Amino acid sequence: MPNEYNTQLQVAAGEVGRQALRLLGAVDEEDLLREVSDAAAALSTRDPLVGGVLAESLAEVGSDSAVVVVASTRSRQGLDRWLGPLGGRVLTLGDLERADVPEEIAYFVGPPRFFKPTAVTAPRTPEVTFIVPAWFGDRTVPTSAIADYAEGGICVAARVIEVGDRPAMAPEQTLTEQNPIPEERLLPQPFWGRRPSEDRAPDKDEVEARKILLSGSRAIWLDDDGERIRALDPTQPPGERVGYSNVSAVAPGTHLLLREGEAERESLQARAFARIGARASAIEASQASWKAALIEKLAMRGVGESERALRALGVRAAGQVRAWASAHVMRPQSDGDFERLLEWLGLSVQPYFGHATLLRHEVHLATRELRDRLESAADAADLHELERVGHLSLDIAEPGLRGMFVTRVLAIAPFTELVRRYDARVPFADEGARWLE
């Protein structure tokens, strides 16, 4: 941007100069410090060349024919203050993928590696242009892996405009091109230490879980008992952002929907019991009764022998027998499996079957209601803030739903640990991801 709009650059350049002068006399390389100080001061003497080329390009083709694409929300906000009054439209690549794009040209400010490959391999405009300072070495434009094999494929014109003069002398190469250091290895990494848990099977009140570091100085223990966890996809259209992610698919970048101090399944059961009303105490006692009988059977016969006995009776999901003992699992999914399980426990089918089925039905209703509330809250939220910060509280005033928030997964532990079942999926404060943000 022109210097008159770029106050952050002026402040940063001034601070570099002040710090360089403070170090004079404290280090041996005074000439280098003065060079750094002079270079910072020189930034204020002329407007950045890239901005001038961008403004000329927009004037040449017309602001209605081109859209400017930047690498971050902060960059978008800054350039919009400059180009907005001139009629230019400034978007991030995420904005571009979701917006209606009538323009013919997309000017990407920065080298191709600052953007996802889809900027070129799945473009939104017929022409894509990257405006890059000449000193930036990697100007490689990505290509689709199937481009060479496609017949009649779309051919998008992508070009790179170099701005300024290249350095007279290329920096010394310390690595061969055949053996570069992957960029990921140079980024801050979390320290996981060693697994402190014993190397044994979990007890009835324990689960195997991985530690997940989250944006906002939080973490959770994520088990796979439930197979899925609620998530939000900000790239989807309104009304379709809230859903579930398979636990195995959770990865850095996934946005999880969690509740402060409580796992979602606990709040859903509480809402279900509240809906049931007067019969809630009888159903709660019924659930506790058959689960206590199952826990006693597992303790007496062992998990392996119990699974084999249930399979012999025709229970198809016998491998889930430990999960059925959990208070979070209302009943086996299959009616036949549940009836055979109750018979194996020496219990009559009723009232246990009817009570558990009613509870499951009410939990499903509560789940759908929660999803609708979360969709409404997500539609009203500033998802650009989520993209910039990594976490966002959802404004839900309804009792029982307060404290819901969205947070980005930053890192996942390479090993599991034994944790209490009631601690799984409950967010807690953790500074382990501070440097990842």
pLDDT score for 289: 93
Q: Is 390 left (phi over 0), alpha (psi -120 to 50) or beta?
A: left
For the segment 316-340, the average pLDDT, to the nearest whole number, is: 87
Assess if residue 169 is contained within a domain: no
Query: In 3-state terms, what secondary structure has residue 74?
Result: helix
pLDDT score for 335: 92
pLDDT mean across residues, the chain: 83
Domain boundary, last residue among 307, 328, 363: 363
Q: Which of 197-201, 242-246, 283-287, 428-432 has the highest mean pLDDT?
A: 283-287
Q: Is the pLDDT of residue 436 over 80?
A: no
Report the Cα 77 to chain-centroid distance in Å. Answer: 22
pLDDT score for 271: 80
Assess if residue 25 is contained within a domain: yes
DSSP 140: P
User: Is the same domain home to 257 and 280?
Assistant: no
User: Is the same domain home to 328 and 402?
Assistant: no
DSSP secondary structure, 331-345, as one string: S-SSHHHHHHHHHHT
Beta strands in 381-431 (DSSP E): 391-393, 404-420, 428-429
User: Is the same domain home to 136 and 84?
Assistant: yes
The pairing of strands 242-246 and 66-70 is unpaired
pLDDT score for 151: 62
171 pLDDT band (50/70/90 cuts)? low
For the segment 281-293, the average pLDDT, to the nearest whole number, is: 91
Domain boundary, last residue among 363, 387, 415: 363
What does the pLDDT look like over 98-117, one tens digit per residue?
A: 888 899 999 999 888 888 88
pLDDT score for 137: 81
Q: Number of folded domains in the chain? A: 4
User: Is the same domain home to 109 and 34?
Assistant: no
With a pLDDT cut of 90, the percent of the chain lying above it is 19
> CA–CA separation, 58 vs 43, rounded Å?
24
pLDDT score for 77: 87
**Nearest of 20, 83, 27 to residue 55 by alpha carbon:** 83
| The one-letter amino acid at 132 | V
What does the pLDDT look like over 394-431, one tens digit per residue?
A: 877 665 566 788 999 999 998 888 888 878 888 998 88
User: Is the same domain home to 69 and 158?
Assistant: yes
User: Is the same domain home to 210 and 90?
Assistant: no
The whole-model pTM stands at: 0.50
pLDDT score for 184: 67
First to last CA, the chain: 26
User: Is the same domain home to 317 and 413?
Assistant: no
pLDDT score for 214: 93
For the segment 166-172, the average pLDDT, to the nearest whole number, is: 56
User: Is the same domain home to 292 and 342?
Assistant: yes
349 pLDDT band (50/70/90 cuts)? very high
User: Is the same domain home to 329 and 401?
Assistant: no
Look-up: residue for tokens 């190469």? 173
Assess if residue 137 is contained within a domain: yes
pLDDT score for 158: 57
Q: Is the pLDDT of residue 10 over 60?
A: yes
What does the pLDDT look like over 218-259, one tens digit per residue?
A: 999 998 766 688 888 888 888 888 888 888 889 999 999 888
Task: Say if CB 242 and CB 369 are below 8 A apart.
Answer: no
User: By residue range, what is the domain housing residue 7?
Assistant: 1-47
Q: Is the pLDDT of residue 270 over 70?
A: yes
378 pLDDT band (50/70/90 cuts)? confident
Domain boundary, last residue among 363, 389, 408: 363
User: Is the same domain home to 66 and 160?
Assistant: yes
User: Is the same domain home to 75 and 37?
Assistant: no
Residues 6 or more apart whose Cβ sits within 8 Å of residue 62:
none
